[in-house]
Amino acid sequence: MGSHITIEDKLKERIKELTCLYKVSSLIRNNNNNNFSDINTLFKEIAASVKEAIRFPEEAFVEIKIEDFVFVEGRKIQDAIFIISAVKAFGKIKGSLTVGYSKQKFSENSFLEEEKLLLHKIATEIGDFLERKQIIEKEEIAKRQIERAGRLTILGEITAGIAHELNTPLANILGFSELLKEQYKDDKVASEDLKKIINSAIYSREVVKKLMFFSCEMPQQMTSVNINLIINEAISLLNPNFKKKNIHCTITFSSDEIYLKVDKIQLTQVIFNLVINAIYFSPVKGKINIDVLENSKKIQIRISDEGEGIQSVNSENIFNPFFTTKPIGDGSGLGLSVVHGIIKSHKGTIIHQPNSPKGTIFVVSFPKS
């Protein structure tokens, strides 16, 4: 097709281009207002608008590529002559916008300079849209994390109060039960009943102790230690648990000696709880990997399993006391809340993320200073 174009044709093309720009801006604005609800439909509509704005729409195809998303309006021609514009967000190329014709029918001159400018403007609009989307998503994540931290702080304060209130009556139950035990040592039935009371009180005291761990109320003995030794020791004690399910556990350290100021008993408890959880949710003959990494600012312990993973509906609650996905009798729901409390008292953080292809990775980070 020839490249000759009259003033009237030029005017028609300008109107088409301006209409396209207006429509794309409106589509993006509407999608912003709807919280980015249907991005696929948005890109399809943008591609259709661009195709209509091109000089020979019935002969053209428009392709929008954004990361994993690819949409083609019109029939894509392999042997094509085309113009392309990169879609960038925060200075990084996220995809491209392409308009093409058949090489057999068209030449380089078939594209107008204004069409190249139009393509660039729309690619810029898409890039700006992706930037806004990314900012809002990050804000949402930060907001959820702040809300969760706030909930856990309030929960910690309530829990600490409950733990202190329970300590005195439990001490009384244990003390008076021990006195009664002496009085009824010749009465076999009464002795057995008192033994049950004492065991129940001891169990309750352990729960209170765990609640105090969660609310950071336990005294700590902080010393600078080679945590590699503590982790190896904790894992060796769990060997029978690994054998029971034929689980293969590998531990890797980024260096032979990694020193950190911690409470040794509390760090052991963190490793124990996280690894016992990983064993519980792992399949038979599964793999558990423990990676201990050190850099100039922090020390990270990554514990990954090949279980079913944590459902998104539960992800916000797993560190709350008494929350458990295990069947009744298999767990008190205090393991991860204790872990959270200990890590928080060491000024560290704990997060979880999906493992690939399945499972969970718990990432514990401790600051070095």
Q: What predicted TM-score, i.e. pTM, was given to this entire model? A: 0.47
> How far is it, in rounded angstroms, from Cα 265 to Cα 222?
10
Same domain, 198 and 230: no
**Residue 167 CB partners (closer than 8 Å, separation 6+):** 205, 208
3-state secondary structure 149-204: HHHHHHHHHHHHHHHHHHHHHHHHHHHHHHHHHHHCCCCHHHHHHHHHHHHHHHHH
For residues 363 and 351, give the distance between their C-alpha atoms in angstroms, rounded to a whole number: 5
247-299 pLDDT, tens digit per residue, is 999 999 999 999 999 988 889 889 988 998 899 889 999 999 999 999 988 99
Q: Are residues 136 and 158 in the same domain?
A: no
Last residue of a domain, one of 141, 173, 193: 141
Residue 315 has pLDDT above 90, yes or no: no
In a domain, 265, yes or no: yes
Three-state SS for 74? coil
Instruction: Please give the C-alpha separations between residue 3 and each of 13, 56, 82, 152, 181, in angstroms, as whole numbers.
Output: 13, 11, 15, 68, 106
Same domain (yes/no): 180, 192: yes
Burial class (CB in 10 A: 0-12, 13-18, 19+), 211: buried
- Of 109, 126, 141, the last residue of a domain is 141
Helix (H) or strand (E) segment spanning residue 271: helix 264-281
Peptide bond between residue 357 and the one before it cis (omega within 30 degrees of 0): yes
pLDDT in tens, 75-100: 888 888 999 999 999 989 999 999 99
| pLDDT reading at 2 higher than 50 | no
* Whether residue 258 sits in one domain with residue 354: yes
97-141 pLDDT, tens digit each: 999 999 988 888 888 888 899 999 999 999 999 998 888 888 887
Q: 49 is written with which tokens? A: 């608008």
On whether both 78 and 124 belong to a single domain, the answer is yes
**Same domain, residue pair 179 and 55:** no
Q: Which domain holds residue 96?
A: 7-141
- Please say which residue of 110, 141, 172 terminates a domain: 141
Note whether 254 and 324 are same-domain residues. yes
Is residue 35's pLDDT more than 60? no
How many domains does the chain fold into? 3
The verdict on 236 and 280 lying in the same domain is yes
- Judgement on whether residues 282 and 321 belong to the same structural domain of the protein: yes
Q: Are residues 131 and 149 in the same domain?
A: no
CB atoms within 10 A of CB 261: 14
Same domain, 158 and 265: no
CA dihedral 3, 7, 13, 18 (to 10 degrees): 140
Distance CA 267, CA 234 (A): 9
User: What is the signed CA dihedral for 35, 41, 43, 48, rounded to 10 degrees?
Assistant: -140
Residue pair 1/104 in contact (Cβ under 8 Å)? The answer is no
**Cα–Cα dist 235/238, whole Å:** 5
Which residues make beta-bridge pairs with 85? 97
| Residue 217 DSSP class | -
Range 229-247 average pLDDT: 90
- The answer to the question of residue 1 being in a domain is no
The enclosing domain of 69 has a CATH number of 3.30.450.40
362 plus 334 within the same structural domain: yes
Question: What pLDDT is recorded for position 208?
Answer: 74
- For residue 36, pLDDT over 60 is answered with no
